[in-house]
Amino acid sequence: MDGAAPKRNITLIASGAVFGLLYGASIRFGSRMFPNSSVFMVVSLGFVVFLPLAMGFVTVFIVERRRPQPLWIWFLLPWIPLAAGEAAAMIVAWEGLICIVMFTPIGMVASSLGGVAAGLIARYATSRRSKNASVVCVMFLPLLVSPFEQRFHAQVELRRIETVIDIQASPDVVWRNIERVSRINPAELRSSWSRRIGFPNPVEATLSYEGVGGVRHASFDGGVLFIETIDLWQPQRRLAFSIKAQTGQIPPTTLDEHVTVGGAFFDVLRGEYTLELLPKGTTRLHLESQHRVSTDFNWYAHLWTDAIMADLQNTILLVVKNRCESVADPASLGVSSLTTEP
């Protein structure tokens, strides 16, 4: 009898996790079946916050109402259907690794909150009717929130990110390495967490002609191309440009629709290099970018976009630094830092 009880509890916990997974998968499947419906908006508070919260709620409620569980179960059990759902979405190519990584932290917090709420209601609510009503309300919450939030929360936020590096080279040498970029060998690129989760490697940038109006074609692996039009040209001092992502040419296998540059939710708009002469033959190179974030949860999304842009810019600046400092003859340098922001 003593040995059977733990097994029954494990079975009960597993059944709760499976139900939570099936519930979440059904909502996600609805977004595939009705991609233009405001009810099933994936990039929304309803999906990003309230869906994992509801998954955690139903998972723990099913378990707790049958048998009281330790409090840690309320917090941690919701992570099982959440992780299983993420894995399934990647397997069937509904989501890319980038989206999964960005979603996971907030999904874990929301699902745990749902689990705790379910545990409290299942254990302490006195009315069976109120318990059942709470489950129904929570399960429909993601579907009710998504269309409602579209009326009030659609936001456009412009973000600026600046990164800086000191280079033991003259401004003239540095300038030649930022006006255009010869092909970058993958060995030149430092290890980067943003590329490990799926952002492509910078490849090269060409320049049509020197001066205002010159056009750079900045390319990345996977068919990602940026058209950069120079609107400020001050040799050895400042180089600035507008950026237009060729969104229609980006294959879905490179960046999925939720994180595509130039898409509905994210875009890179401008870039600017500034050179600052320091003592002892050192040049301080600033790289500033401006990007757009357009979600119903910019307060969370911009944490990721800021971090990704900073990581990419630091990678680019390091390429410039190494190229400037490693070549003895500056005249042999015909390269430039990728000024694009992916």
Query: Average pLDDT of 133-162?
Result: 86
Quick check: helix, strand or coil at residue 172? helix
* pLDDT over 50 (residue 328): no
Taken in order of first residue, the domains within the chain and their CATH numbers are 4-149 (no CATH), 157-332 (3.30.530.20)
User: Tell me, what amino acid is at 122?
Assistant: A
pLDDT tens readout for residues 171-201: 999 999 999 988 999 999 988 999 888 888 9
Query: Average pLDDT of 55-71?
Result: 94
Length of the chain: 342
Nearest to 85 by CA among 63, 117, 110, 118: 110
pLDDT tens readout for residues 89-112: 999 888 888 999 999 999 999 999
CA dihedral 6, 12, 13, 18 (to 10 degrees): 150
What pLDDT score was predicted for residue 242?
Answer: 97
Query: Average pLDDT of 253-268?
Result: 82
Query: Average pLDDT of 227-249?
Result: 94
CA separation for the pair 267, 153 (Å, rounded)? 19
pLDDT band at 163 (very low <50, low <70, confident <90, very high): very high
* pLDDT over 80 (residue 153): no
pLDDT band at 38 (very low <50, low <70, confident <90, very high): confident
pLDDT tens readout for residues 297-317: 999 999 999 999 999 999 999
User: Tell me, what amino acid is at 271?
Assistant: G
pLDDT: which is higher, 287 or 196 = 287
